[in-house]
Structure 1
Amino acid sequence: MDSSGGFQKHTCGHALLLLLLLLAGGAEAFRICAFNAQRLTLAKVAREYVMDTLVRILARCDITVLQEVVDSTGSAIPLLLRELNRFDGSGPYSSLSSPLLGRGAYKEKYAYIYRSHRTQVLNFYLYPDEDDLFAREPFVGQFSLPSKVLPSLVLVPLHTTPKAVEPELKALYEVFLDVSQRWQSEDVILLGDFNADCASLTKKRLDELVLRTQAGFHWAVADGVDTTVRASTHCTYDRIVLHGERLQSLLRNAGAFDFPQSFGLTEEEALNISDHYPVEVELSRAVHRIQPLSLATLLLSLLLLLLSPQLGLAA
């Protein structure tokens, strides 16, 4: 009896299982992020270390909603997208941006950055803020998902002004009702820098919001999660709120991404990127359809199984 036979069969079984998993695709997570990039301009993204860090942050997410894009040239997002598509092969990425929004001279855009091989924009619109309730009205997007459980969802981004957090968050419920009726969708994510903590909004006033009292809303980024870079602050300004049973059934993880710690940055270095952490949710069981391998990859896998006894892949 070959003393290595058990090892060969065991390894062969693992290799066959791996090949089957590769052929089937697996239950891959889908990550949705929101990031206040703090006055994102063309001059800011043109700084190499800022660009490098932003690209590494964005490459973690299937969809990112960027806020505080204040670039009036219209060149910052295309430049960022170009570098992102050159980064690590996780793309290709595309973008969708709102007009510049604001009541006075200071204006911001919302920008969606998304992996176009995993999701596509199905619909979008700028909320018609006829009563001027928002400093920067939501730029609503409907995106496809690689899922049989949930083939699409709606994202409603909002960056509130600190002076009017409570009325804007009250009005955000009206945006939810509007988009639910417009697209007949209950699966909605409200996300962004809500300024919903600390001096901007007390816990008592927060808990009185209809988005907190109305059944069906889940605040995935929980109270007490620090979404700020500065060590001197501990505030949950940035939020992600989920609505819809199917959507909530897919929720796996949620929280803030501490990019300074992950990338080994000092506080000073991190503040050159933003004074906010990105916040994110991961949806589990998102991918259900077969993900076919390329012919070359399939042939290589089969050759490894059949012709590599030294690795224990053939009995």
Structure 2
Amino acid sequence: MAGLRSDQFLMWILVLLTVQRHACQAKMFEDNVKILSFNLRMFGDAKMRNQAVVMILTEIIRRYDITIIQEIRDKDGSAFNELMTAINSDGEDYDSVLSSRLGRTSSKEEYGVIYRTRTVQVDGIYQYPDPDYVYFERPPFAVKVLLKTADNLADLAIIDVHTKPTDAVEEIDKLTDVYQKTMAHWDGLQNVLIAGDFNAGCSYVTPTEMKKISLRKDSHFRWLIGDDVDTTTSNSDCAYDRFVAAGDQLQAAIVPGSARVFRFDEVFDLTVKEMKAVSDHYPIELRIRGRVDRTELAKFDRDLSTSFQDSTDHARADVMGMFSTDGDLENLGFDISIDINSNNKKFIMALKEDMTKLEVETAVDSIDSSNPIFRESVRELIKLDLASPFMSGLPNGQGFLAPYDSKYSFTVWCEYDSPYKCSFKLTRRNNNTDLLT
């Protein structure tokens, strides 16, 4: 009996240590919420009979937390149910919602949203009211989702749309009304992602027509897939599939650069025939930033810096003159010092901190134009780096979660011995104290 108690005691110690170990390894950044939009091209029984296609579709959908689907032609629902069974066959836990079968003709389609239940919860559906099909061939279908692991974005409405190609201009223009009614249905929810096959390119929507579309002209809407992107697997080159984001929180939460085409043929090494058997469209994807432990993030100092070295060999007199007590840099308030690196190489340095962007630009412009170290190309590069989105700090972008001070440090350093090359560095510090407010 004593031995049993000893074993039980050791077991509970092991459990406690395991829990503590996992607690210590809690992630500062949750995984991003991954979203896909995909026109499955006449999805139904025939496509489900092709096991190679089913395997590829299953693997694609499992990569994402939310998959927004167009062109489900499955009359009795059996094919879509089989797809869901295949997706969950390896212990995954996905669920789905479907619209009713929609369309002016006997060839009807359903919209669908497949979601990973561990990270996403569906909180309601909304069918845009167009029962007589006055405005849309397939009236858009909306789903409200709760994002369990997103950062500063608790809920989101997704509007799924597949326009009629020959009516694409009119239907896309009408999407502003769809947005307004969807927002009103959910008590003013402004964070809305419009996704799907817009047919928004080539002959269906010309560049001239695009400029007149209200969804494009209204600054509240951000188009995330460019007009020059090819979303088709055929020989055409058309930006049919799109994401359009509305709402400040949603737009801020989208990871910069994450909205793009997912070329599944390259990932799965498919032939052209195998690729086209899946769909005549490439899916499009984006990511929403995962939850951030800001208490943990505030423990780290992270600076934005950009620097470059000029490979020009300067004369010693020019270098020493610029760093002298009556030289340009000291007259501008820079601190001059000598530094030796780990390889015992000596540098002469000039540093000025707490400069505004304008002060950096003014300092660069005020240096004598005949100065061989601050030649025109160097001035241009400094200003280019200063004005770059990177140095500005993309608001709420991945990697720029910390707020950054509006002040800059500017450093110039040159080799103390031949060949006297010089380098330049701009640094912007983050303000960790704001992370906890």
Change (3 A) 1:274 1:216: same
Matched, 1:203 2:204: no
Matched, 1:268 2:249: no
Alignment partners' CA distance in 1, 2:94 and 2:222? 29
Task: Determine which of 160, 165, 175 is the counterpart of 1:157.
Answer: 160
How many residues are paired up? Answer: 270
The alpha-carbon deviation at position 27 of structure 1 amounts to 2.7
Partner of 1:309: none
Matched, 1:234 2:256: no
Partner of 2:147: 145
Deviations 1:101-138 (A, max 9, x none): 10111000001111011111101021111562000001
Note if contact 1:127-1:137 (Cα within 8 Å) is conserved in structure 2.
yes
Q: Tell me the percent identity.
A: 35
Matched, 1:284 2:284: no
Task: Determine which of 133, 136, 145 is the counterpart of 1:134.
Answer: 136
Partner of 1:305: none
SS at match of 1:134: coil
Matched, 1:114 2:115: yes
Matched, 1:257 2:259: no
Map of 1:149-188 to 2, 5 A cutoff? 149-183=152-186, 184-188=188-192
Q: Give the residue type in structure 1 aligned to 2:100.
A: P
Aligned residues: CA RMSD: 1.9
SS at match of 2:203: helix
Alignment partners' CA distance in 1, 2:191 and 2:267? 31
Larger deviation, residues 34-43 vs 145-154:
145-154
Task: Determine which of 41, 48, 61 is the counterpart of 1:38.
Answer: 41
Deviations 1:64-87 (A, max 9, x none): 111110010211111111111124
- Structure 2, unmatched stretches of 5+, are 1-20, 295-437
Larger deviation, residues 261-270 vs 123-132:
123-132
Change (3 A) 1:21 1:145: farther
Note if contact 1:29-1:287 (Cα within 8 Å) is conserved in structure 2.
no
Note if contact 1:30-1:286 (Cα within 8 Å) is conserved in structure 2.
no
SS at match of 1:94: strand
Query: Which one has a bigger Cα radius of gyration?
Result: 2
TM-score normalised to the size of structure 2? 0.59
Note if contact 2:29-2:291 (Cα within 8 Å) is conserved in structure 1.
no
Larger deviation, residues 276-285 vs 130-139:
130-139
SS at match of 1:125: strand
Matched, 1:217 2:218: no
Alignment partners' CA distance in 1, 2:202 and 2:24? 47
Partner of 1:94: 95
Note if contact 1:250-1:286 (Cα within 8 Å) is conserved in structure 2.
no
